[in-house]
Amino acid sequence: MLQEKKNTGLLRWMTFFALIVAALPMALTWRATGGMQAPDLSPRNWANPPGVEWVHPDEIAVQLRPGADENTLADLSRKFGASVQFNHAASEEGDRRTVAKLAVPTGVDPQTLIADLEKDPRVEVADVVHIFTTPVELAPAPHPANDAPAPEKGFKPNDPRYGEQWNFQMIKMEEAWLKSKGKGAIVAVIDTGVAYENNKKGIRARDFAETKFTKGLDVVNGDSMPNDDQGHGTHVAGTIAESTNNKEGVAGIAFEATIMPIKVLSATGGGSSADIGEGIRWAADHGAKIINMSLGGPFPDKLMRSACTYAAKKGVTIVCAAGNSGREGVGYPAAFPECIAVSSVGPKGDLSFYSTWGKEVAIAAPGGDKQVGGESGGILQNTINRDSDGKLTDDYFAYQGTSMASPHVAGVAALIVSEGVTDPKDVKAILQKSAQSKSPSNKYGAGILDASSAVKLAGSFNNDRSGRFWMVGLLFVGCFLVGKTRQKSGAEGGYPFWGTAAIAFGLLFPDWLSNYLGMTSPLNIVGHSILIPGALLVMGVQGKMERRLVGWMAFGLLTHLGWEFLHGTVPVGFEVSFWQLLPWVGANIVVGLGLLIAGLEGSRD
């Protein structure tokens, strides 16, 4: 008995110190990555494009709380001495409007008026109107035909100019298409609109005949026909879901996904924070699971931040262009923590000459670089453009910009959502964990987008979990049959229920925890370890049965951890390399086996 207590005490202390030592690299990584630091929301040092003023200081946009009506506006107008009007007219379906604007009265300080507005319980947030633009680096030009062959690997679409899409080869689309094509995902393109149908306002681009569209919104003109009158939004939508394998033009990434066109930018490529904020909320309210915003500006507008927070809470993944300033200082909305900021690389995988960079960059994707690849170094998609007579033309054009990089990430996000992973934090984690490694992180984030690895990783989370549930079911059935066989042979004891339940807990608890917390929570490290049985031992678990259960629980948790480690799916909640994770896994193996052996030896006493 004395020897047993001595061995148990020694195992407790070994467990305690092993876990402390193993946690050190994880803690250092958490500290190095900044932990839960507050985001930097300072204005960025961007030059003003010709004819663009980033701030309209004499005009205020107001985000009203739900339930606002014309009476609310009349009351606010009387209270603040300025005419408060809804941002746009009601749509045909009577969609609720919650964004209003007012002109600052002469002699009134705008910041004082904003502070007073935000004290009103009917107002969520207010800010001066900021302008955001489509950051295309150069004017488009028709892309010459290129007969360069595409690699024979995976699913290869029959679109005749697919071979010119070097960008799809870079992110390994052909392998990704074998697993997902984006079916069921709705992607809102918040931009200049999309050439999605032939009507009185515009045309449908030729290579969108098979692309799926859902109801959209034109915030600029206040109607439900968000036709593109500029070309930028159609090009962006093409990268995401242009009709594919239809023997026409080029391909799109998630060509079985559905596009929700939302026009917030005018024919000149600019739009107000009020319009964009309204478009974001509308998309979130009407079923979008991914939002792409290939637009930006240097100011952290409060209305847009509020809208992004609203959408993220409703389960929308928001992907944004980092900007085309060619310098450090990721623009907005990309720099908001609710958004995935995307920098751009050219044909050789290096940062494009125009790409903005900074610590907020989450990932890099092909955006084109004509300084490196000439005209063929751009991103080729079908879109519309206006000729010298102002007539809309429909052709294939090569654009470059972080505007083109962002929809690559949005398209792959649609593939991930189609695989059943919908939480925005989980989608971002998968995008980053699967990225092709590239340094430094302030230019490339987690690395260059890898569609094939992202889809495989997304599928592994769901498939692995369903596999473990089947494993637990078979475990219970197997133990039951063994117990019955032993009973028939005259052996004592039957179905080892509690031991099986302990193993099942170890196999399933980590999945339950990550489902509850999300894959990005640092607390997942508790579930994906033998910390729980180790803590039970350190706290003084006694008795043969209890020790046995602790051992079997450790075995289940250890099996789960080993499986996810080998598949690269351990949701530790922050960026960590294989070598940083290895000490933790190694310590868990040593201590977990010790707990299992101690439990089995205890069963013989």
pLDDT of amino acid 12:
54
3-state secondary structure of 101: strand
Which DSSP category does 330 fall into?
A: -
- Tens-place pLDDT, residues 457-478: 888 766 555 555 666 667 667 7
Beta bridge partners of 141: 398
- Tens-place pLDDT, residues 313-335: 999 999 999 999 999 999 999 99
Q: What percent of the chain has pLDDT over 70?
A: 79
pLDDT of amino acid 585:
79
pTM for this predicted structure: 0.82
Give dist(CA 48, CA 52) in Å, integer: 6
Residue reference for tokens 């692309």 = 211
Residue reference for tokens 């026909």 = 225
Q: Is the dihedral of CA 103, 105, 110, 116 positive or negative?
A: negative
pLDDT of amino acid 89:
66
Instruction: List Cα–Cα distances, 274 to 246, 265, 271, in angstroms.
Output: 39, 11, 8
What Rg, from alpha-carbon coordinates, does the chain have? 28
- Tens-place pLDDT, residues 533-547: 877 766 666 677 777
Task: For the chain, give the mean pLDDT.
Answer: 84
Give dist(CA 422, CA 316) in Å, integer: 8
Residue 149 — very low, low, confident or very high, per pLDDT cuts 50/70/90? very low
- pLDDT at residue 238 greater than cutoff 90: yes
CB 426 within 8 A of CB 519: yes
pLDDT of amino acid 211:
98
- Tens-place pLDDT, residues 37-64: 678 888 887 777 777 789 999 999 999 9
- pLDDT at residue 95 greater than cutoff 70: no
pLDDT of amino acid 532:
78
Cβ-based neighbour number of residue 395 at 10 Å: 15
pLDDT of amino acid 28:
47
In this prediction, residues 493-502 reach a mean pLDDT of 69
Instruction: List Cα–Cα distances, 420 to 2, 307, 592, in angstroms.
Output: 54, 25, 32
- pLDDT at residue 428 greater than cutoff 60: yes
- Tens-place pLDDT, residues 23-35: 554 554 444 444 5
Residue 389 — very low, low, confident or very high, per pLDDT cuts 50/70/90? confident
In this prediction, residues 220-249 reach a mean pLDDT of 96
Distance of CA 227 to the CA centre of its chain: 27
All structural domains of the chain = 2-36+459-604 (no CATH), 55-130 (3.30.70.60), 141-449 (3.40.50.200)
- pLDDT at residue 605 greater than cutoff 50: no
Top pLDDT among 20 and 75 is at: 75
- pLDDT at residue 123 greater than cutoff 90: yes
- Known catalytic residues? 191, 232, 403
- pLDDT at residue 554 greater than cutoff 90: no
- pLDDT at residue 574 greater than cutoff 70: no
* Residue 583 tokens, joined: 């000490």
Beta bridge partners of 344: 365
pLDDT of amino acid 37:
61
pLDDT of amino acid 349:
96
Helix pair angle (451-488, 424-433), 10° resolution = 100
- Tens-place pLDDT, residues 158-186: 999 999 999 999 999 999 999 999 999 99
In this prediction, residues 357-380 reach a mean pLDDT of 94
Top pLDDT among 112 and 392 is at: 112
Top pLDDT among 190 and 93 is at: 190
- Tens-place pLDDT, residues 579-592: 667 777 787 787 77
- pLDDT at residue 205 greater than cutoff 90: yes
Helix pair angle (544-567, 451-488), 10° resolution = 150
pLDDT of amino acid 366:
98
- Tens-place pLDDT, residues 409-426: 999 999 999 999 999 988
Q: Which of 16-20, 153-157, 337-341, 428-432 has the highest mean pLDDT?
A: 337-341
- pLDDT at residue 296 greater than cutoff 90: yes
- pLDDT at residue 294 greater than cutoff 90: yes
- Tens-place pLDDT, residues 96-119: 678 999 999 999 999 999 999 999
> In 203-226, which positions are buried (b, 16+ CB within 10 angstroms) versus exposed (e)?
bbbebbeebebeebbbbbbebebb
* Residue 145 tokens, joined: 């035909």
